[in-house]
Structure 1
Amino acid sequence: METDDQIETVLRVRAKKELRKRARGLRSAVPRDAILSRSSRILDALCALPEIMEAASVAMFYPIEGRNEVHLVDLDPRLRERGIRVAYPSIDPDAGTMTFRFVDTPDALEERGYGFREPDPAAEEALTLGAVVVPCLQIDPRGYRIGYGAGYYDRTLPRFCPPAHAIAVAFDFQLVSEVPETPHDVPVHLVVTDTRQIRVTPP
């Protein structure tokens, strides 16, 4: 027989699934020029953060085509101009895990079966990072986020953060009052939207 905590977790998982579906629909409805304009403001905010600009290495992500993700492609060259090494997510399909791997140029990224551009699996793996830029579909002021549901970031972030800073980027309409967290969810340290920044207070 399920305990009350187990029942609560099941209900929260179901709620997140429905919220994920709605969030994807909402973001998909935003015109592309608005996505790019909002993304530009997020990019400028990131480049003003000491957590980013004073890091020796940063993990970011390449936006998935057609999903209206925060478009941070221009962050890569701005980081490199400051001598910051740049890593991107890399999925190991056999182990079901994610790592971050360094590339000399984003041109080295290719779509490898997961819908987004990744480094070569043989590229140098990042063992430490100064900051990790995290995507999301929804996020709350406590730093809890709804992603695509595979849990890659939740499993990977504890390997780097701390000491690395986990920084979620989202459009302001993706910020909600509360995300129904589940036992394995890992909150970020900082939320950056196109209109504000929220520094998460540890519980």
Structure 2
Amino acid sequence: MHGNNEDDIPSTYSSPPCFMNEVDPSYMGLVGAQPASIYEWRKLRRQELINARQAPLAAERATWGRAIQAAIDPIVADVAGKAIALYWPFRGEPDLRPWMNALAARGALCLLPVVIAKTQPLSFRSWRQGEPLERGVWGIPIPAAGMDVRPSIVVAPLVGFDERGFRLGYGGGYYDRTLAVLEPRPLVIGVGFELQKIESIHPQWHDIAMDTIVTEERTRLRT
């Protein structure tokens, strides 16, 4: 179920935000705040970028994923006692689950994002390998239990990104909404493949730039 209409989104659900596909602007309450052409442009670019991300063989994406893990690890080297929000991979996103397990072994508290209600910030729920999972809206595993914890580091998957550090997501706005209210603001790291880089996402008033973007080829620090 990956339609573009609000009718595709159940009235109640629990699911990581990176699995939200296109959401109609009226659902977000943003009609009038941005020109409709931006939504149309982003809709087309999202699908192109998702298709491009899924095109390489799984083995090649796995190799890129390992390179991302190697590059991101020094950024968060001292992880003992830190709460780190990650994600469950979907539609060709980098699979960082091996790194998540390594972080837990080094004393980090790993979290997965959960949507608790429409137009509300995300909840981040603790999880480690072996603990029970349940299925979210699109069959994506989310923690069945665990604590709600405010993260000190957020690792967010990208559909697209630009050199200014802005992230193009799935259109639900959940990461932006959450980052806008988290205090103190966590370190925010976007992860994706180099092929997802575009000239500009045409950032709007609600878009929040990443602190760092890591791909299999480069680490970009926002200045």
Q: Is this a same-fold pair by TM over 0.5?
A: yes
Match of 2:148 in 1: 125
Match of 1:3 in 2: none
Q: Mapping of 1:27-42 within 5 angstroms?
A: 27-42=53-68
Aligned 8 A contact 2:120 2:177 in 1:
no
- The root-mean-square deviation of aligned C-alpha atoms, in Å, is 2.0
Match of 2:201 in 1: 179
What is the number of residues matched between the two proteins? 190
Aligned residue type for 2:94: V
- Distance in structure 2 (CA, Å) of the matches to 1:161 and 1:140: 26
1:26 aligns with 2:46: no
Q: Could you report, residue by residue, the CA deviation over 1:48-106 in whole angstroms, capped at 9, with x for unpaired residues?
A: 21xx2224111000112xx1111111011211121111111112146654211112436
1:101 aligns with 2:119: no
Match of 1:9 in 2: 35
Query: Could you say what secondary structure the match of 2:171 adopts?
Result: coil
Give the % identical residues: 26
Aligned residue type for 1:82: R
- Distance in structure 1 (CA, Å) of the matches to 2:42 and 2:184: 26
Match of 1:92 in 2: 116
Normalised to the residue count of structure 2, the TM-score between the two structures is: 0.78
Of 76-85 and 88-97, deviating more is 88-97
Aligned 8 A contact 1:60 1:134 in 2:
yes
How far 1:175 moved relative to its partner?
1.4
How far 1:159 moved relative to its partner?
3.1
- Distance in structure 1 (CA, Å) of the matches to 2:127 and 2:36: 39
- Distance in structure 1 (CA, Å) of the matches to 2:123 and 2:33: 32
Distance change in 2, residues 1:36/1:185 (3 Å): same
Aligned 8 A contact 1:141 1:191 in 2:
no
- Distance in structure 1 (CA, Å) of the matches to 2:86 and 2:128: 14
1:194 aligns with 2:216: yes
Aligned residue type for 2:185: P
Q: Mapping of 1:51-66 within 5 angstroms?
A: 52-55=76-79, 56-64=82-90
Normalised to the residue count of structure 1, the TM-score between the two structures is: 0.85
Of 152-161 and 184-193, deviating more is 152-161
Distance change in 2, residues 1:7/1:83 (3 Å): closer
How far 1:186 moved relative to its partner?
1.3
Structure 1 unmatched ranges of 5 or more: 1-5
Distance change in 2, residues 1:57/1:7 (3 Å): closer
Aligned 8 A contact 1:167 1:189 in 2:
yes
